[in-house]
C-alpha cells in the first residue's frame, strides 16, 4: 500500500453523498463514516485504488463547485459506467458501517428517539 491517503479526494464526496442519502445522520456520525470510507479506500489493492483515485479526482472537483448540489444528486442516483461503480462502492461501505455501528438508525439516517 502506498503511503499517501486518498482522504482529500474521497472524504468530501462521501460526506456529500451521505448528506443527500441520509440527511438525518448527525455531523459527527457523518464524519466518522466518511473517515471509515477513506480508510477502506486506502486499503484497496493498488491497481483498484489507482482507478478509484482517477475517478475520485474529477468528482472532487465537481463537489467543490458552488451550486453543484443538483449535479451531485443526479450523479449519485444514476448508475453511470465507472462513476456509478465509485458511487456504489462509497455508498456500500458507508451503509454497511452505519448499520453495523448503529443498527437502529432510521432509513433517513436519524437516530430513533
Partner 1 sequence: MKHASTTGADAVTHAPATEALYDAEVLIIGSGAGGATTAALLAEAGFDVLIVEEGDWVEQGTVVPFSLDQMNRQYRSGGVTVALGLPSIAYTEGRCAGGGTEVNSGLYRRPPAELLDRWRTQYHIRDLDPDEMYAIAEEVETALNVTPVPGAVSPASTVLQRGADALHWQNSESPRWMKYPAGGSAASGQRQSMTRTYLPRAQRAGARLLTQCRVRRLSINGTRASDAEVVLADGSPGRIRFRHVFVCGGAIHTPALLQRSGLRERIGDTLAVHPTVKLAARFPDPINMPDDVPVHQVKEFAPEISFGGSASNPGLVALSLADNWGQFSHALQDWERVCVYYAAITSEGKGRVKAIPGLRDPLVTYHLTARDRQMLRSGLSRLALLMLAAGADEVYPSYHHAPIVRSTADIAELQRSFATTKATVMTVHLCSTVPLGEHPRCAADSFGQVRGMKNVWVNDASMLPDAPGVNPQGSVMAFAVRNARRFIGTERPRG
How near is the Cβ of 68 to partner 1 at its closest, in Å?
Answer: 21
Cα separation, 54 vs 94, whole angstroms? 20
Query: Which position among 8, 57, 74, 88 is part of the footprint of partner 1 (CB under 8 A)?
Result: 88
- Using CB under 8 A as the criterion, what x/- string covers residues 23-52 for binding partner 1? ----------------xx--xxxxxx-xx-
**Which conformational region is residue 67 in: left (phi greater than 0), alpha (psi within -120 to 50 degrees), or beta?**
left
Q: Is 91 in the site for partner 1 (CB under 8 A)?
A: yes
Contact present, 63 and 12 (Cβ < 8 Å): yes
Give every CB contact of residue 47 below 8 A, 6+ residues apart in sequence.
none
How near is the Cβ of 36 to partner 1 at its closest, in Å?
Answer: 8
Burial of 66 from C-beta contacts in 10 A (0-12 / 13-18 / 19+): exposed
- Residue closer to partner 1, measured from CB, 19 or 39: 39
Binding site for partner 1 (CB under 8 A): 1, 21, 39-40, 43-48, 50-51, 78-79, 81, 84-85, 88-89, 91-93, 95-100, 103, 106-107
Amino acid at each position: 500500500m502506498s503511503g499517501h491517503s486518498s482522504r482529500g479526494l474521497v472524504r468530501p464526496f462521501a460526506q456529500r453523498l451521505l448528506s443527500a442519502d441520509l440527511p438525518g445522520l448527525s455531523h459527527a456520525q457523518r464524519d466518522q463514516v466518511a473517515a471509515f470510507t477513506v480508510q477502506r479506500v486506502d486499503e484497496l489493492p493498488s491497481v483498484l485504488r489507482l482507478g478509484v483515485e482517477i475517478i475520485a479526482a474529477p468528482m472532487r472537483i465537481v463537489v467543490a463547485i458552488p451550486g453543484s448540489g443538483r449535479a451531485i444528486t443526479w450523479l449519485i442516483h444514476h448508475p453511470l459506467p465507472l462513476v456509478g461503480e465509485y458511487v456504489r462502492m462509497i455508498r456500500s461501505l458507508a451503509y454497511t458501517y452505519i448499520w453495523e455501528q448503529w443498527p437502529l438508525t432510521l432509513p433517513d439516517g436519524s437516530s430513533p428517539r
